[in-house]
Chain A
Amino acid sequence: MSAFLSYLIHGISLGCGFALIASGIIIIYRVTRVVNLAQGMFAVVAGFSAASVLDARVPHPLAELLAIAAAAVVGTLTGFVAIGKRGTSPQASLIATLGVGVLGYAVEVLIWGDQPRSFTGLLGSYELLGVDIAKQYLLIVPVTLFVFAGLELFFERTYAGKAMSACASNPYAAALQGIGVLRMGLYAFGLGGALGGVAGVLLTPLQPVSYDSDVSLFVNGFATAILAGLKRPVLALAGGLVLGVAESMVAGYAKASYQSSLALLLTLAILIAQAVRREALHTVEE
């Protein structure tokens, strides 16, 4: 029982991280039609930055906020590369984000070396039902909920958020109203960067990051985004939890090395099932 509980809690925390990364992917995709392959890199940059800033004796919440800000900047820069040039097709932008991700590797190794790093988050643990739960786990869920609530509020209730949704909904009409579609795209990338950053500072105390952590983070984030149908960020929360818990269970009860394949196979299954349904519709029409 205690093993189950600890897997569950670990899974929920992982899932929150996936959901945050997924929300970044979704927002960027909705506003710019680009799938950001560098999304995992934002989390890694934040994790590394937080570790360095903490080493420099900057106190806790400030260090994390600085790290998130750094990730937001990196996100915006990625946006510049991906969509800054007029007439870049979504396909070309996709490859451009791939390039930025690889550049991220170079910069990360340059600044932080090629070894994994971590930092201590919340120290200590609570006991619940006979299981020691690290406080860090308990930090992740409320922070994630807070962020998602903030996102909902932003998109549903603020004028700027609605303008951004408008870009996602109909870029031509948005441009007609004077909404700067490029500018909104950059904001989306910046926001995506920040969201990746939050995931990074929350997860790094649990599992050390290294320059190539971004692949698994992206894979899981994208899987979650697919589960959410690439539509509303809020759905990503549910998808992330499902995926995180499932992976944690597989890692706990089966083999740890199968855990990443699970996300992959699940996503592939969904994507292919969707495609098959589309094909079936087409043949019916013919």
Chain B
Amino acid sequence: MIQVDDLCVRYGAATALEGVSLSVARGEKVALIGANGAGKSTLLNALSGMVPKASGSIRVEGRLAHVPEGRQLFPDLTVEDNLSLGAYRGGEHNPAWIYELLPELGRLRRQRAGSLSGGQQQMVAIGRGLMARPDVIAIDEMSLGLAPIIVQQLASRLSELNAQSGLTLLLVEQSARVALALCERAYVLETGRIVAQGTSAELRDSPFVEAAYLGSPVGAAS
């Protein structure tokens, strides 16, 4: 589904990613854990083509929807418009099926996206990503700034989608707790390199990961 080999991304003279290799199979739920500045957003931007690669290879089978850090909605547009623009690349513009999936958005459809709460915005962002009918959805920092219970709700929705339609998930998180709870496998990214990988169970037991990433509570601005 996603195959990244020896990826290298540079900004001018600075190297953001070096020798990154990872793979995600169809239907998997994989996490990418890393602190601020580790290069997680850069990796997603490289996957979605927003940032050029200096060397290495990226292969994505099917459509990838990138739900960016900080939601990045269109604040002046309505929820409905935000959602329907998710289908810009092709497909049904009508977000009716999103409202079935996420009924709360249906109630908010006419509201200005900028006026919503963080959790609601995150839901819109994910909904917008889903509108593209992607094969894989990559979400950057879903839990940032959100209350744990909201994060839990979002996580279970994503799990359902994954179970029902085989939607592949790539979750990028600072908070390892959330990521490892939802996902089966994970990679750990540190200053542009993969420093650890394995199943969630393995990583949860790893003292290294525990010290660096499981120390802080979920949802706090860690």
Contacts and interface: CB of A to CB of B under 8 A. Distances in A.
Q: Find out whether A and B make contact in their complex, taking CB atoms under 8 A apart as touching.
A: yes
Interface of A: 159, 162-163, 165-166, 168-170, 172-179
18 contacts: A159-B84, A162-B81, A162-B85, A165-B77, A166-B81, A168-B76, A169-B75, A169-B77, A170-B72, A170-B74, A172-B68, A172-B72, A174-B74, A174-B85, A176-B68, A177-B128, A178-B88, A178-B89
Interface in B49-103: 50, 66, 68, 72-77, 81, 84-86, 88-89, 93
Nearest to A173: B72
Contacts of B85: 162-163, 166, 174, 177, 179
Contact of A179 (B73, B88, B128, B132): B88
B162 interface: no
Contacts of B88: 163, 177-179
Contacts of B81: 162, 165-166
Nearest to A180: B88
Q: Which 5 A-B pairs have the closest CB atoms?
A: A178-B89, A173-B72, A169-B74, A177-B88, A166-B74
Of the four ranges (under 10, 10 to 19, 20 to 34, 35 or more), the interface on chain B belongs to 10 to 19
B191 interface: no
Per DSSP, chain B at the interface is loop
A175 B68 CA distance: 11
B68 A162 contact: no
A103 to B, nearest CB: 33
B78 to A, nearest CB: 9
Contacts of A178: 88-89
B89 A170 contact: no
A163 to B, nearest CB: 6
A97 B152 CA distance: 51
B82 to A, nearest CB: 8
Contact of A177 (B75, B76, B86): B86
B159 interface: no
A177 B73 CA distance: 11
Residue in A165, A169, A174 with the greatest tally of chain B CB atoms within 10 Å: A169
A166 B77 contact: yes
Most buried by B among A165, A168, A170: A170
Contacts of B197: none
A170 B76 CA distance: 9
B120 interface: no
Contacts of B111: none
B216 interface: no
A177 B76 CA distance: 16
B21 interface: no
Nearest to B125: A173
Given A175-B50, A176-B66, A177-B89, A162 B73 contact: no
